[in-house]
A and B are shown apart, each in its own frame.
Chain A
Amino acid sequence: MERFVDLAVSAILLAGLYATMAYGLGLIYGVLRVVNLAHGGVIMAGAYLGWVLHGSLGIDPYLSIPLVVLLSFGLGMAMYRVLVRHLPRGAAGGPASLLLLFGVWLVLRNVAYLLFTGNDQAIRTSYSTRSLLVLGTHVSVNRLAVLVIALVTPALLQLLLRHSHVGRAIRAVAQNADSCTLVGVDVERIYTLTFGIGTALAGLAGLLSATIFSFNPGFGSGELLKSFVVVVLGGLGSVLGTGVAALVLAVVEVFAILVLPSYLTSAVGFVMLVLVLVFRPGGLFGHRVLG
């Protein structure tokens, strides 16, 4: 029983991390139909931003969340205005956007190599290795904080999408951008804001990851892959689905250790991805909350 509780707690905490990483990717795809390959690069940039703010200015990583989110939001808006908006819309823009955003990722990575070298870095605070006793099992304070943020983030996102003018406009554009143009919605502005919000969420994920893992300029590729799995499992464009899919993935990966060698547990997620794409291409939950 104790082992089961340990694994369950571990799965829930891991789900928090996966969800945080995937929200931004899901949102951008849901509205713009663009697979943001620069997501991994922004996660890496968010980690470095938090590290610089902590190391140079002594700002606690959790207190630096507003600043990192704001800066990432600005980076996302700039990326959209300068680069992404010039891409052709619809299916024709698919390969072009993949190439463009992959290029952005490479640029971000190499800028980080230039600025910070390839050394591994980590954010260490007084509570980095502190834990709380929950249900008889030790729970890392950092991972608990990430879980709380992972729960609060979709709630705030849902509030924004459902109860604000901008949110309603985002949902409307996600459904039919042409109709929105006809009724006077500034679609380009909505796209810019959405890309900014998605990028801000990636920056937040990077900052939170940096409180748990060490990182270098190559950081973000594994995170991008996991985000893909979560977003596809949850149904492309579904914010709540993303959260639930993160939990499903984490539970499967963590409990797989009971029957599989540890090194194979992370492959379980990819097997699930293939199965879902074959049998439920719309994702486990089959509908889009945004749409």
Chain B
Amino acid sequence: MARRPAPLRRALAALAGLALLSAPAARAAEPTRVHLGATLPLTGAEARVGGFFKEGYELAVEEVNKAGGLQVGARKLPVALTLLDDTSTQATAVSLADRLVNSDKVDFLLGTYASHLIEAQSTVGEQNKVPYVNGGGGATKIYKRGFKYLFGTIAPVELLGTTLMQWIDVQQKAGRLPRPAKIALVWENTAHGKDFKKGISDFVAQSGGAYTIAVDESFALDGKDFGALLGKVKAAGVDLFLADAHLPDYITMHRQYVAAGLCHKVVSYGARGSEKAAIEALGQENVNYVLSGVWWSPQLGQKPGPAQDFVKLFQGKYPGRQPEWFQALAYESARALFAAISQAGSLDREAVRQRLSGLEMRSLLPGGTLRFPANLGNQAQNAFVVQQNLPDRTSPIVFPPDAATGTAVAANPRCAK
């Protein structure tokens, strides 16, 4: 029998040796858990909402771990979440996300809360090619940067303006509001406010003259006096008062609005209106018939489906409490990431990113389906739900009709008094 040449023998021996050496290494590299990282504003200006997001993330992780872990390929892996406090500041949010990726070696990132923090922090995910799913950054400009690894479960604020106008349009067509109707559009000078304004303005531009914007004014955050601004609204004699404000400005402005004896056929402060804190600060009689649009409401849980399952899960852990949209969107962001990981069957970041891009998931959000349209920067486009405060202290969903839990009242009966 002819002997093999010596160089070939040496090469085969080297390969066999390499194979022996690499076998334990390959076994060690096999993942034993899904490691997620997130920062949240647990202290500082956004601490209240940061706490709500924490509840949502933890709920999602606990749920999947109670079920034996997350299905990744043929195995179920436990999920671990490393959560850090970004103190509501951009610099900390960015540096901690960098630490999570490069030091703690997390597999994927969940987002922090508030548009300005997410705008800064999401660059870390993009630079390191780590999928980053958030439910707290609604400003559209975040998603217009061509990022491939950024995904948002939170619909753009533009849609809030559009949804409010759709409800108003239904009322106008039913003869409950004048045609044409004059609008006072008052918005905070932030990305949130600008998106709101765009939603309303675009709708008005396409309304064929059914609406005109008589006052278009922005204001600085944390205003101390809205007297002059409201004077302008009063002088314009408008029918609809549509504002976009954060809670402190809503309280200050609406107190002045009521004290100035103003009343309009439709009054809205964008996403504000049905909060317990606002009702306590302003008094039920002063917030009756105020409309608000929110990303999610626990009332969606009145019908069987993911929203009901979430409400039950939340109340199982926090008895006596109702979840708000903050917890719901945080929970849904984690769930979307879990779904993409399971579909990818591995922790490969690129594979998971691709699955997120094509994801179509049954969701607790209005509309019932979550997807991240690539042409809109991977930002979900689920509709808002419109709620209206009523004198019986409830704030039922009045729009869209398929989610409605109550009947809308228009025009504002307070103005008749």
Contacts and interface: CB of A to CB of B under 8 A. Distances in A.
A129 B282 contact: yes
Contacts of B282: 124, 128-129
B283 A128 contact: yes
Contact of B248 (A9, A138, A213, A262): A213
Contact of A213 (B252, B258, B259, B260): B252
Interface string A9-20: 110011001000
A218 B232 CA distance: 30
Interface in B279-304: 280-283, 286
Interface in A205-238: 212-216, 218, 222, 226
Contacts of A253: 225
A6 interface: yes
Contacts of A10: 225, 227-228, 231
Contacts of A117: 47-48
A261 B227 contact: no
A120 interface: yes
Interface size classification for chain B: 35 or more
Nearest to B228: A257
B223 A266 contact: yes
Contact of A6 (B218, B220, B227): B227
Interface residues of A, number: 47
A184 to B, nearest CB: 45
B224 A129 contact: no
Given A14-B224, A124-B280, A212 B255 contact: yes
A266 B43 CA distance: 28
Contacts of B224: 14, 17, 213, 222, 226, 266
A212 B45 contact: no
A17 B282 CA distance: 20
A270 to B, nearest CB: 11
Given A129-B286, A257-B229, A122 B280 contact: yes
A222 B260 contact: no
A216 B234 CA distance: 30
A218 B44 CA distance: 8
B228 A262 contact: yes
A254 interface: yes
Interface string B161-190: 000000000000000000000000000010
Interface string B210-230: 000000011110111101110
B13 interface: no
B259 A130 contact: yes
A120 B259 contact: no
A255 B225 CA distance: 12
B227 A254 contact: yes
A158 interface: no
Given A140-B255, A214-B281, 10 more contacts: A7-B228, A17-B225, A121-B277, A128-B282, A129-B286, A212-B255, A214-B247, A216-B248, A218-B45, A263-B220
Interface of B: 43-48, 189, 217-220, 222-225, 227-229, 231-232, 234-235, 247-248, 251-252, 255-256, 258-261, 277, 280-283, 286
Interface of A: 3, 6-7, 9-10, 13-14, 17, 110, 113, 117-122, 124, 128-131, 138-143, 212-216, 218, 222, 226, 250, 253-255, 257, 261-267
Closest 4 CB pairs of A and B: A10-B227, A122-B281, A118-B47, A263-B189
